[in-house]
């Protein structure tokens, strides 16, 4: 049977680390889900990130409705406990079985955890510059300057001849070209490096969570 357009949209796979996925996060949405999605997007330890609506289990689709991040040691689903509907024992049990079958670890978080300072503030400050256009030649010079070593933001600016380098570094972190320590304030003395995983062609995510996925309109929730 042919799927309708609405069904195709409902089950479209959304990669939140793609350009389109980052654009869907936008700004101004103060939900914890959106804040967490931004933090995970910027996190140098996250290799892939998607919003998983459901997972297949024994011929059924089990509702998940969580951000799922891939790290070097596996997949983690973030259960924002104070921003979701209550689950009864049966629903919780089926969810845990589905996650386990797909090799996904469940991690409970809440609004206070996600909004904790200084990480939340640092990430939002970096994310403000996500739409800044970086000249292709300048981007190439920055990548070459960081090809074999880390530099402070100040040293990077000197190396490429750019005085107002901080917004540019922030934009490239949002595009996952560069990475920095998110626990510290990104100023001229902060260290910055090239990301090492941009050439990864496949992931645990694409192999283990091939079921229907959906990013709800208006952000990551």
Q: Is the dihedral of CA 154, 156, 162, 165 positive or negative?
A: negative
Which tens digit of pLDDT belongs to each residue from 173-201? Answer: 999 999 999 999 999 999 999 987 553 33
| CATH number of 5-116, picked from 3.40.50, 3.20.20, 2.40.160, 3.40.1350 | 3.40.1350
First to last CA, the chain: 30
For residue 138, how many other CB atoms are within 10 A of its CB?
A: 15
Confidence of residue 210 (pLDDT cuts 50, 70, 90): very low
Provide, rounded to the nearest whole percent, the portion of the chain with pLDDT above 70.
76
Tell me the per-residue pLDDT of 23-82, one tens digit each, with 9 for 90 and over. Answer: 667 655 568 989 999 999 999 999 999 989 899 998 899 999 899 999 999 999 999 999
Query: Where exactly are the structural domains of the chain?
Result: 5-116, 119-194
Of 74 and 208, the structure prediction assigns the larger pLDDT to 74
- Kindly report, residue by residue over 89-107, the tens digit of the pLDDT: 999 999 999 999 999 999 9
Please state the separation of Cα 50 from the chain's center in Å: 7
Tokens 């090799």 sit on residue = 103
Classify the C-alpha dihedral 53-55-60-64 as positive or negative: negative
CA 44/CA 174 separation, integer angstroms: 11
pLDDT for position 27: 55
**pLDDT for 1:** 32
Higher pLDDT, 97 or 19: 97
Q: What is the pLDDT of residues 120-157, one digit of tens each?
A: 999 999 999 999 999 999 999 999 999 989 999 999 99
The mean of the pLDDT values for the chain is: 82
Provide the strand spans (E) within 2-98: 48-57, 60-71, 74-80
4 band by pLDDT with thresholds 50, 70 and 90 = very low
Residue in the block written with tokens 């050439």: 199
Q: How far apart are CA 221 and CA 37, in angstroms?
A: 9
CA distance 72 to 167: 29
166-174 vs 32-42: helix crossing angle, rounded to 10: 100
Q: Is the pTM of this model over 0.85?
A: no
Q: What angle in degrees, to the nearest 10, is found between the helix axes of 166-174 and 153-160?
A: 100
Report how far residue 95's alpha carbon sits from residue 82's, in angstroms, rounded to the nearest whole number.
17
Beta strand 74-80 with 191-194 is: unpaired
pLDDT higher than threshold 80 for residue 214 = no
């Amino acid at each position: 049977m042919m799927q309708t357009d609405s069904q195709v949209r409902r089950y479209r796979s959304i990669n939140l680390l793609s350009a389109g996925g980052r654009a869907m996060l936008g700004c101004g949405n103060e939900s914890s889900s959106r804040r967490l999605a931004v933090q995970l997007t910027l996190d140098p330890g996250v290799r892939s990130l998607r919003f998983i609506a459901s997972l297949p289990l024994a011929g059924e689709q089990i509702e998940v409705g969580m951000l799922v991040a891939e790290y070097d040691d596996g997949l983690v689903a973030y259960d924002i406990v104070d921003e979701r509907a209550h689950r009864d024992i049966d629903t919780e049990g089926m969810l845990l079985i589905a996650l386990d079958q797909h090799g996904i670890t469940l991690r409970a978080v809440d609004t206070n955890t996600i909004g904790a300072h200084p990480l939340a503030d640092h990430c939002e400050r970096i994310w403000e510059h996500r739409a800044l256009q970086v000249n292709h030649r300048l981007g190439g010079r920055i990548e070459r300057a960081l090809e074999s070593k880390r530099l402070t933001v100040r040293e990077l600016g000197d190396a490429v001849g750019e005085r107002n380098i901080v917004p540019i570094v922030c934009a490239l972190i949002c595009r996952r070209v560069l990475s920095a320590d998110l626990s510290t304030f990104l100023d001229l003395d902060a260290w910055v490096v090239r990301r090492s995983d941009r050439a990864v062609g496949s992931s645990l995510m694409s192999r283990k969570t091939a079921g229907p996925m959906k990013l709800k309109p208006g952000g990551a929730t």
